[in-house]
Amino acid sequence: MTTNILGVSAFYHDSAACLVRDGELVAAAQEERFTRKKFDAGFPAHAVRYCLEAGNIKLNDLKYIAFYDKPLIKFERLLETYVAFAPKGITSFLAAMPVWLKEKLLLKSFLQNECLSLDGVAKKSDLPQILFGEHHESHAASAFYPSPFKSAAVLCMDGVGEWTTTSAWIGEGSDLKPLWEIQFPHSLGLLYSAFTYYTGFRVNSGEYKVMGLAPYGKPKYVQAIYDHLIDLKEDGTFRLKIDYFNYCTGLTMTNGKFDQLFGGPPRKPETKFTQREMDLARSIQEVTEEVILRLAKSLHRETGMENLCMAGGVALNCVGNGRLLRESPFKGLWIQPSAGDAGGAIGAALTVWHRLEGKPRPVNGVTDLMEGSFLGPCYTNEEIEDFLKNKQAPYNRLPDEKLFDLVAEELVQGKVVGWLQGRMEFGPRALGGRSILGDPRNPKMQSVMNLKIKYRESFRPFAPSVLREKVADYFAMDTDSPYMLLVAPVVEKRRTSITTEQESLWGIDLLNVPKSDIPAVTHVDYSARVQTVHKETNERYYRLLKAFEAKTGCAVLVNTSFNVRGEPIVCSPDDAYRCFMRSEIDLLVLENCVLYKTEQKPLDNDTDWRKEFALD
């Protein structure tokens, strides 16, 4: 008998749903992709509906609904934190109470009512059983169960779950056992978020900007962080010095004491960067990497495992991941591509399958179970043509033998391409299903794509997609990196010599100095966030890379997510067409349908996208 399990993550940030059928991941999607509200935290009604449709089932075909954490334990933390700091935290406590009293304390009933409205089931008794996992257990399960490893140590790091902020586990077969944890308020994720806030970015969305800004700075505040903010032990465990932070009692991350330590108030969003912000970013990045490395080395000594799996928001720090790959004693490293809260839906569902149902894991030591993370909706050429005809949008539908050659040639000519192919990616990275592409050899491509296509800060780097078999020709690594979660140096032979005059530059002045023969994807420190492209999981993107290589000898493309700043990654042809028309993308490719910007008429009654999307 078939067992269908719906995994759900919701109500904090980045809501998502997934469908697991007899241990196989059938579908997964984030709610933001449908509602067009970035990091949408509401009940993932659209994502649930998509997962049911993808599995060709209804709600009453499910055996279980698995929620990714335990809200009552989170409420316990909220109350205990208030009591510990009272009356200091009364403002934030009162701000949180209405949502808790209305929804979160009655979550089971709320989930049942949402599901009833979705499916038209007559009564609650017809619904499947609803189960609640623990937050870090869901993270750990999302890291280990889909991994290619039969056994592994598991490290989870985030802001905070119920109480846990850092946890270690050991996975063997279908067993997953906790080893130890660090609890709130001591959190590496919240420490990094404090610097995200202080440097003028949005918490829970701007952390990767801090990571991208770091190479422009110097680590001048590292010792101050160790002296005043974090007590780091040799084994990687730590405690924060809470009197410098405001997240326990207030509505901000830092306080006046933090301001005094670093010489002034937080940078106001959208204002000019100073060297201070760059130095702060570099400093917290170095501290974060040191904590991660120490924890990993301790976990290796403790478990003797050869492999390491990771999840939680901190696991998206791909610079730290790259150092783990190069410097940790683990032989194998696998990171859940949707490492944040969205991926908790997968962990919750797989926990039910393996631990409650007692089912074994199919592992081969080579491939994972994430299907390349291509788990979202897809669209046929016929559906796309119907949409384009309705829009009266000029297009050409090309056979494959002409499509890849034409797109590759347009990339060679300096065009920027919007690319929608196959199933949408699950997780924060565009991996060749919903991507904007460019020629990495073009020294102007980074600034053009940042300022004219993405409308975002000029310092932010772009990632290279590279044919898996050619990765070592360009980067100092020779391992799979299909999910764009590892940073590696560009190999020496491709680097560009720096002139004496350029050696004196620092900060943002370094941006326009080409660093290699693929300058558009080489960061100021000669690093790159690498995505290896595999024929088995993304054949069409692989074929485009092969066509580009045939014309240029270069097996790399610039790959960034298909969206403008503040917008979720596009999901549908409609989303893609609207983003194409609102930006300076030259060419739109929807499966086999090709559209040129110069042939399109303006959008009817279009609004300013900056008013539609809150800038992140």
Contact 7, 131 (CB under 8 A): no
Number of Cβ within a 10 Å radius of residue 381? 12
User: Could you state, in order of their start, the residue ranges of all structural domains in the chain?
Assistant: 4-136+344-365, 181-335, 381-599
Instruction: With a cut of 70, say whether residue 120 has pLDDT above it.
Output: no
3-state DSSP assignment of residue 161: coil
Instruction: With a cut of 80, say whether residue 608 has pLDDT above it.
Output: no
Which one is the CATH code of 381-599: 3.40.47.10, 2.130.10.10, 3.90.870.20, 3.30.420.40?
3.90.870.20
Considering the chain, what is the average pLDDT of its residues?
90
Is the bond leading into 360 cis (omega within 30 degrees of zero)? Answer: no
Report how far residue 431's alpha carbon sits from residue 338's, in angstroms, rounded to the nearest whole number. Answer: 12
Number of Cβ within a 10 Å radius of residue 242? 15
CATH code of domain 181-335 = 3.30.420.40
Bigger pLDDT: 248 vs 100: 248
Instruction: With a cut of 70, say whether residue 522 has pLDDT above it.
Output: yes
Q: How confident is the model at residue 160 (pLDDT cuts 50, 70, 90)?
A: confident
Report how far residue 388's alpha carbon sits from residue 600's, in angstroms, rounded to the nearest whole number. Answer: 11
Q: Which residues contact 54 (CB under 8 A, 6 or more apart)?
A: 19, 26, 27, 377
Planar angle of CA 161, 182, 260, nearest 5 degrees:
90
Are 4-136+344-365 and 381-599 equal in CATH topology? no
- Closest to 488 (Cα-Cα) out of 281, 324, 260: 324
| Sign of the C-alpha dihedral computed for residues 439, 443, 448 and 450 taken in this order | positive
The pLDDT of residue 123: 74
Instruction: With a cut of 80, say whether residue 335 has pLDDT above it.
Output: yes
The pLDDT of residue 13: 81
- Closest to 41 (Cα-Cα) out of 49, 30, 52: 30
The pLDDT of residue 509: 59
The pLDDT of residue 305: 97
Report how far residue 370's alpha carbon sits from residue 287's, in angstroms, rounded to the nearest whole number. Answer: 31
Q: How confident is the model at residue 448 (pLDDT cuts 50, 70, 90)?
A: confident
Q: How confident is the model at residue 74 (pLDDT cuts 50, 70, 90)?
A: low
Mean predicted confidence (pLDDT) in 107-115: 80
Residues of the chain above pLDDT 70, percent: 90
To which H or E segment does residue 169 belong? Answer: strand 164-172
Mean predicted confidence (pLDDT) in 393-421: 97
The pLDDT of residue 87: 55
Instruction: With a cut of 90, say whether residue 250 has pLDDT above it.
Output: no
Q: Between β-strands 434-438 and 463-467, what pairing exists: parallel, antiparallel or unpaired?
A: unpaired
Instruction: With a cut of 90, say whether residue 107 has pLDDT above it.
Output: no
Q: How confident is the model at residue 75 (pLDDT cuts 50, 70, 90)?
A: low
Contact 333, 308 (CB under 8 A): yes
| Sign of the C-alpha dihedral computed for residues 573, 576, 582 and 588 taken in this order | negative
pTM for the model stands at 0.92
Q: How confident is the model at residue 605 (pLDDT cuts 50, 70, 90)?
A: confident
Q: How confident is the model at residue 82 (pLDDT cuts 50, 70, 90)?
A: low
Contact 527, 469 (CB under 8 A): no
Place of tokens 């906790």: 178
The pLDDT of residue 81: 60
Instruction: With a cut of 70, say whether residue 506 has pLDDT above it.
Output: no
CATH class of the domain defined by 4-136+344-365:
alpha beta
Instruction: With a cut of 60, say whether residue 500 has pLDDT above it.
Output: no
Instruction: With a cut of 70, say whether residue 125 has pLDDT above it.
Output: yes
Bigger pLDDT: 384 vs 101: 384
Helix H, strand E, coil C: the string for 490-536 is: ECHHHECCCCHHHHCCCHHHHCCCCCECCHHHCCCCCEEEEEEECCC
Mean predicted confidence (pLDDT) in 440-445: 90
Q: How confident is the model at residue 86 (pLDDT cuts 50, 70, 90)?
A: low
Mean predicted confidence (pLDDT) in 107-113: 79
Mean predicted confidence (pLDDT) in 434-462: 84
Mean predicted confidence (pLDDT) in 562-577: 95
Best mean pLDDT range from 103-112, 438-447, 598-607: 438-447
Poorest-confidence range of 282-286, 443-447, 517-521?
A: 443-447
Q: Which residues contact 57 (CB under 8 A, 6 or more apart)?
A: 4, 19
Instruction: With a cut of 90, say whether residue 614 has pLDDT above it.
Output: no
Mean predicted confidence (pLDDT) in 319-324: 96
> What are φ and ψ of residue 519, in 5° steps?
-65, -30
Instruction: Output 534-538 pairs: Cβ under 8 A, ≥24 positions apart.
Output: 534/372, 534/468, 534/480, 534/482, 536/367, 536/372, 537/371, 537/372, 537/374, 537/482, 538/372, 538/374, 538/422, 538/431, 538/432, 538/433
Instruction: With a cut of 60, say whether residue 577 has pLDDT above it.
Output: yes
- Closest to 322 (Cα-Cα) out of 289, 296, 294: 289
Number of Cβ within a 10 Å radius of residue 145? 28
Q: How confident is the model at residue 126 (pLDDT cuts 50, 70, 90)?
A: confident
